[in-house]
Chain A
Amino acid sequence: MIKVVDLHKSFGKLQVLRGINNEIHKGEVVCVIGPSGSGKSTFLRCLNLLEEPTKGEVYIDGVSLTEHKKDINKLRQKVGMVFQQFNLFPHMTVMENITLAPIKLKGMSKEEAAEKAVQLLRKVGLPDKDYEYPNKLSGGQKQRVAIARALAMDPEIMLFDEPTSALDPEMVGEVLNAMKQLVMEGMTMVVVTHEMGFAREVGDRILFMDEGIIAEENTPEELFGNPRNPRTKSFLSKVL
């Protein structure tokens, strides 16, 4: 579904990604772990061209992103994204946050979009927050609204960029639960995370990134239970 070939990304002289190859299949949950500055987030942001690769290719359903920049807005509709800082639209209610894109981009009627939003809010466990403004919500609630907003476009794949890193500890669980719900429904997901427990539980595959490359990849059992790369070992010994 997503294929990444020899992906490089530099910011000025700083090489953040130094050749990444990978393929993410339909229905797969891939968790990306690694120390800060290893390029995890940049890798994720290249998957919907929020960052433009310096070199290399990203294919979504066989279509190269860099060769089809004109269609990027259409292609991005297939790829939902959830950010560390939520990035809800503060001047809109929860309902408007979720329905804006389906109404404007998919031509959905207001009623149809609202009905869908109600369903999505129920799914993420916020059935009665439709008409609140984001600033009235807790961090965990904001992030769940952000998940609902991304899902409203019926994406084929969801990208999560450290979705729980900006949350108070007691709110991490509610967001992870909403994500687990998606996993159970068979959503294809790429999750950059520091929640090792979550990665181990729901990941089909773990990518360990270090210094701009995928230093090790494996099933969670193998990667956490029997890491081969010394850098993986040293990282895991620090975080587990």
Chain B
Amino acid sequence: MEVIMKMISELSDEIFFNLIRENRYLYFVNGFGVSVQLTISAALIGGIIGMIVALARLTNNKILSIIAEKYVDITRGTPVVVQLLIIYFAVFATTGLDRVVVASIAFGINSGAYVAELIRAGIQAVDKGQMEAARSVGFSYGQSMYYIIIPQAIKNILPGMGNEVISLWKETAIAGFIGLEDLMRGAEIVRGRTFSNYTPYLVIAIIYLYVTFLLTMALGKLERGLHKSD
């Protein structure tokens, strides 16, 4: 009994020090906002880059295709945190751009490589006979893509895109490296004040997990909707 009482009082102390005192919960709330903002803007940038790069890889133009391939190789072959630091300190160092914008671009460029591969694989997974059938009635390559191939490819691509957003949500936890106060950084600041060993991290772990859980659920709904016409 005494042990339990002691635990409860310790827990309430932890919560008090890490969340309530000096309105420390605001670090988590504001950090959450930054993380969400980064995820959404990086996903949008990544989606656009991914589409362009996938098309570049699929064209018959050798130069475009090679550039696209190298971009994918380099981006997937180096750690995101290194890319983030290079983009912040080397590429945008003198521009004075807002850090959120720089980080969004960095995460977007990284995500774009994965999205490009998703789109490419999704398009290539459409049966070859579909293109032939479309061409045989007289559609051009572009029309065949637009009316026949892409609508089918989207079904293959969307689930992967959802997973990509989930990855991004967790990946943005390194934004603190360039001084952004995201969720992760918020926890570190609080820990710096309270010297709690793990409570701030536990708090953000629960937040990350819960958002991932919500995204996964939404994705499941979407997938079930997509397969209705099967």
Contacts and interface: CB of A to CB of B under 8 A. Distances in A.
Given A83-B133, A87-B130, A87-B132, A101 B152 contact: no
Contact of A101 (B127, B129, B138, B151): B138
A50 B139 CA distance: 12
Contacts of B134: 89
Contacts of A100: 147
Contact of B138 (A85, A89, A133, A153): A153
Number of contact residues on B: which range applies?
20 to 34
A104 B143 contact: yes
Contacts of B147: 100, 104
A74 interface: yes
A150 B130 contact: no
Given A87-B130, A133-B229, A50 B148 contact: no
Contacts of B152: 89-91
Given A104-B147, A105-B139, A89 B133 contact: yes
Q: For chain B, what secondary structure do more than half of its interface residues adopt (helix, strand, loop), or is it mixed?
A: helix
A48 B136 CA distance: 7
A76 B132 CA distance: 11
Contacts of B140: 73
Given A105-B137, A153-B138, A50 B132 contact: yes
A77 B134 CA distance: 11
Contacts of B135: 50, 73, 76
A153 B129 contact: no
A150 B229 contact: no
A177 interface: no
A83 B138 contact: no
B229 A83 contact: no
B138 A76 contact: yes
Nearest to B138: A77
B11 to A, nearest CB: 54
Closest 9 A/B residue pairs (Cβ): A87-B133, A77-B138, A87-B129, A81-B136, A101-B137, A76-B138, A73-B138, A91-B151, A73-B140
27 contacts: A48-B136, A73-B138, A73-B140, A76-B137, A76-B138, A77-B137, A77-B138, A80-B137, A81-B133, A81-B136, A83-B132, A83-B133, A83-B136, A85-B127, A85-B129, A87-B129, A89-B148, A89-B152, A90-B152, A91-B229, A100-B147, A104-B139, A105-B137, A105-B139, A133-B229, A146-B133, A150-B137
Given A73-B140, A87-B130, A89-B134, 4 more contacts: A76-B137, A88-B133, A91-B155, A105-B138
